Structure 1
Amino acid sequence: MGGWGRAALGAVVIAVVSACGPVPATVVDDSATVAATSTTRAPRIVDDSGRPDIAFDPCLDLPDDVMTAAGYDAAHKKFADMPMGSYTFLGCEYNKHDLVPGVRRGYGLNVLSGNVSLDEELEKNADVAIPTTVNGRSALREVDPTTTDTCRYVLETDFGIVIFSRLHYKDHPGPSAQSEWCAGMEHFVFSVEPFIRN
């Protein structure tokens, strides 16, 4: 089933799934690389929903050196924001090129920081969401068989949620094993969780 954000990483497109269907993302900047900072800043986008401002900006608050060390191409990350009026997501796209012949060509990763609640996310994706914790933070692990090759972790924050959605680029014809979709993802999410501002 649909979530707040769904990655179509092969085409470098993000769509937001709402009750009315998919809505294309608004790409604010598709080339900027900005160093992370620890100072408090005004969010790049606010909405008129009365929901909290988003305090964690994935493209600005995940350090480039940390993402590079995890194998993601931080030099070519892309802003992919979704101002929806009744809620907002600040997004960042990354690619990881780690070919394993016959298994995968790499991964695409979308990190979405939004001002919807974990309860709303659970209600929307209850059929695929498994409650868990990440470094003590309430979270969901989502593997939707209808969203082939995708693994998502959704972490609760004071302002809403942060979604780590990874697409497995297979290196063979036919379907990939569902066991491959989340391989290594838990370790990665645990390693970057401390950078999330509440």
Structure 2
Amino acid sequence: MLVMFMATAGVAGEGATRKSAEPAAVSMAVLGVEGALLCAALCLVALNLPSGPVGGEVFSIFALSPLLFLLVLFAAALLTTAYVLPAMVLAHWTARQLTGRVAWWWIPPACTLWVLPALAVPSWQLAAFAVYAVALPPALAAHFTVVRADAGRPVQPCAAILTWGAVAVVGVLVVGVLVGGVNRW
């Protein structure tokens, strides 16, 4: 099944092809950007909390940042292997069986199947919706990577996704500091 995701795209020279970005790498890059945006928002919230009697909240936020980064990477790898790639494989297989071609609109229903059992428990519904909302963008990005690579068109490398994600994180931090009026420094 995963052999179909090993596609090549674009011609690098005479008869040579270059490797495209793997769907797992694209998914993890998108999830990493989402996690970094969440961490930036959490840092802004923590900076705006009233300081306690001991103080030093800003230092503790920056001291915990490497641990948050490792947690985001672990969660991105886990979500990619257990949710995003299986949903994409299921969507592609179902689309080929029913219509003979792959289209993006098969991805949201396939992602929904993974959270349906959680929707039966009322206390898990919000968590199921959050997982679905977090996993759908990387699933769509990985799908478009596979489709573009199979069509022989160039795909966007993960470096571009991470670069624009870093710009978005810096933008969130700058806007949050300006709007939130953080005056701790």
Higher strand share: 1
Q: Which of these two proteins has the greater Rg computed from alpha carbons?
A: 2
Higher helix share: 2
TM over 0.5: no
With CA pairs under 8 Å and 6+ residues apart, which has the higher RCO, 1 or 2? 2
TM-score (normalised: structure 2): 0.30
TM-score (normalised: structure 1): 0.28
